[in-house]
Amino acid sequence: MKYDVLKLENQLCFPLYAAAKEIVKRYKPYLDPIGLTYTQYIVMLVLWEKNALTVKELGSCLYLDSGTLTPLLKKMEADGLIIRKRDHEDERSVIISLTEQGVALRDKAIEIPTKLSGCIALSGEEAGTLYVLLNKLLGQM
Amino acid sequence: MKYDVLKLENQLCFPLYAAAKEIVKRYKPYLDPIGLTYTQYIVMLVLWEKNALTVKELGSCLYLDSGTLTPLLKKMEADGLIIRKRDHEDERSVIISLTEQGVALRDKAIEIPTKLSGCIALSGEEAGTLYVLLNKLLGQM
DNA sequence: TCCTGATAAATTGTATACAATTTAATTGTA
DNA sequence: TACAATTAAATTGTATACAATTTATCAGGA
């Protein structure tokens, strides 16, 4: 019928949005004990890999802008996880790096991905397909 | 290596979360002209189908709680789209229904799903697979 | 009927998100 | 070298989200 395109069940956006929120909730029991929120966790994932990068670079990795990152990073600095330092090569940029405490947290976080995949009822192959499709969707956006 | 499980590229959560946010941004140019935010839009999708339901029911359809819905619905009521009314059968519940203006908005929204699928670089088959996987993921959460 | 437990919204507090603007620094160019 | 355009963070304002608590109402049993 005319309005079928507006049915909730016909919107791809809806399960995408709902699943993303539910996954974040799934992380909470594992992130609370190490004192991270979900967004702080994905920031840490990048920093554990790259060691030091600017707010700008962090933002393009994570699809987040300075309006989100600035207060988040200030909080993480206050919590002793990271250091924020102006780049002397280009004073417009702020370089984010890990403190020793931030580096050390990696060993506590290492259990999390395994614990989380246990919460997800997709087979390895399905998770792989989902991963590819989501990245395809992201790729050309 | 030991820390590979913590690489951003190995997290399913990350493209899921990022894609969800990007899709919401994609809606903005089409929702702005009809005066809806993304969350208001998905509320309207349910109301266009069901006509009247409680905040509780709306919340379980949309995976949203009263902390999110109450202020959102008050805003939509102030904007003249919906009516909030205590259920006389059970005074704990609030029944949400559409105003004439809310019903009329459906005809302006009907273009949106088509316009949006034009923004998404997945084939029909891929979108179908994604839909199934996301719902599977949601189903047992 | 009275009281206890359960339920639905609303409220409070915290944490994201992002658009738009502002501030400070840099770059390219006449 | 001035200076306009660009760039990176930060700021401001608005809108979600959700956990935890509170308030009002309802339901079931002694």
Q: What is the DSSP string of B24-71?
A: HHHHHHHHGGGT--HHHHHHHHHHHHHSEEEHHHHHHHHT--HHHHHH
Beta bridge partners of B52: B97
Nucleotide nearest B20, CA–C1', reads: C17
What pLDDT score was predicted for residue A29? 95
- Token pair in block for residue A139: 């790729």
Angle (nearest 5°) at CA A70 between B12 and B68? 65
Is residue B80 within 8 A of residue B59, CB to CB? The reply is no
C-alpha of A29 from chain center: 16
- Tens digit of pLDDT for each residue in B45-101? 999 999 899 999 999 999 999 999 999 999 999 999 999 999 999 999 999 999 999
Provide the shortest C-alpha distance from residue B19 to chain A (in Å).
6
Nucleotide nearest B39, CA–C1', reads: D16
Which positions in chain B touch A21 (Cβ < 8 Å)? 20, 63
Please provide the average confidence, as pLDDT, over all residues in chain A: 94
Give the A window 64-83 contacts with B, CB below 8 Å: none
DSSP letters of A60-125? Answer: HHHT--HHHHHHHHHHHHHTTSEEEEE-SS-TT-EEEEE-HHHHHHHHHHTTHHHHHHTT----HH
Do B3 and A140 count as a contact with CB atoms less than 8 A apart? Answer: no
Q: Which of B2, B15, B11 is CA-nearest to residue A110?
A: B2
Do A137 and B114 count as a contact with CB atoms less than 8 A apart? Answer: no
Is residue B109 within 8 A of residue B44, CB to CB? The reply is yes
Residue A44 has pLDDT above 90, yes or no: yes
Q: What is the mean pLDDT of residues A66-75?
A: 98
Q: How far is Cα B101 from Cα B73, in angstroms, rounded to an integer?
A: 15
Q: Which of B56, B47, B24, B45 is CA-nearest to residue B98?
A: B47
**Residue listed under structure tokens 């809606």:** B27
Nucleotide nearest A68, CA–C1', reads: C17
Is B1 part of the contact surface with chain A (CB cutoff 8 Å)? no
Residues of B from 8 to 37 whose C-beta is within 7 A of strand C: which are they? 17, 21-22, 25, 28
The pTM for the full model equals 0.93
Tell me what percent of the residues of chain A surpass a pLDDT of 90.
Answer: 87
Is A48 part of the contact surface with chain B (CB cutoff 8 Å)? yes
